[in-house]
Amino acid sequence: MATELRNNQETLLTLAKQNFKRWNDALLTKNPEEVARLYTPNNSFLPTLSPDFHHGHQGAENYFEHFLAKNPEGVVVTESVHYLSDKAYLHSGFYDFEVGPDDQREVVHARFTFGWQLIDGEWQIFHHHSSLVPTK
């Protein structure tokens, strides 16, 4: 698989899409522990709707405990993927999140970067940065 990633941008993009779906599906469970399991124990995390810099499983879990209450569902709008090594890649771009109660959904436009690392046969997030798209 690693050789496929290094030599085939399409395969790498497919993997990035699959891992984003895993992450988004974890959000839909509304279980912060489920989402935090996707992050490495020593991750760095700069979320869109928080002024804090989060670290580790506990930091991710603490953030998602509050974020999941907003009923989020994300859709990638534009994306790019960059091979780092046989066991790591960056996935970045723009995503839109619908948040709020079913009868009052709002869309949040944000930029993202996910750093994914293959650890013991499982892809995990070692870095996640997300920020609101500036208005003109």
Q: Which of 29, 52, 43 is nearest to 117 (CA)?
A: 43
> What are the residue ranges spanned by the domains of the chain?
2-132
CB 91 within 8 A of CB 76: no
What kind of fold does domain 2-132 have according to CATH? Nuclear Transport Factor 2; Chain: A, (3.10.450)
Q: Which residues, in sequence order, are bridge partners of residue 73?
A: 98
Query: pTM of the prediction?
Result: 0.90
Tens digit of pLDDT at every position of the chain (136 positions): 555 667 788 889 999 999 999 999 999 999 999 999 999 999 988 887 777 788 888 888 988 998 999 999 999 999 999 999 989 999 999 999 999 998 999 999 999 999 999 999 999 999 999 998 888 7
The full DSSP string for 50-113 is: -SSPEEHHHHHHHHHHHHGGG--EEEEEEEEEEEEETTEEEEEEEEEEEES-TTS-EEEEEEEE
DSSP 133: P
